Structure 1
């Protein structure tokens, strides 16, 4: 519900400022009922929030009612596991600068290999395998990438 919507001829506006429909109010009420059944809300809280849901005019007023609740069916262990998995995934991501360097190296290596293959195919004598020298910057780039990942892993532990 929090993405931008653009209308024809109108400037873009946040979806939270749009008016909610009866179906939207019913969905929020259903989500609150699930939270009550799971024991996340007391009966008094549930009554207050459902009344607020049916009185809400915009999506923003509806979203406030469920912002502190996880999606239905999730328990604390699953939420914690997802956060841990997201943190691991984020720590394994390679920084953009290294991705650019890897892309440059791979394109240069590919060009060198293609030129070498064409030269080797067109001449009848021994051709020095110069693309092997591309392994040197590749090894250096590998070492830098591993070093960055190790440093990021150590920083995450502290």
Structure 2
């Protein structure tokens, strides 16, 4: 059934007209005062005909194809520096987690047996930490921070 000017409009219809009016203000076709007047009329409107009079002197806008909506729909590409920084943080977090687990195991064995053995977790955290530290320092030297 086609909408006639005498048919009642829904809240969704009013919202679509309000969005179109906002876009016309953003493009400079309406002043803020005109927008406020039309918005007041919009929410008093009951039929499609009354809604149509609010935008009769304005060009139609396809709200699904707005430039701002198209740009915001596309995710921004991740920068290479951000990916490297995230990977480095994950590597350090893995090192810290595994190191903590090893020290807890060593401490538990020492407490339950009554004597502490050689601190073997050093052999896990030392070489791995050294490699991570070298990678972090080399990465920081290879990619100097840009000044803005």
TM-score category, normalised to shorter length = 0.3 to 0.5
Question: Which protein shows a greater Rg?
Answer: 2
Instruction: Kindly indicate whether structure 1 or structure 2 has the higher relative contact order, using CA contacts under 8 Å at least 6 residues apart.
Output: 2
The two structures have a TM-score, normalised by structure 2, of 0.47
The two structures have a TM-score, normalised by structure 1, of 0.44
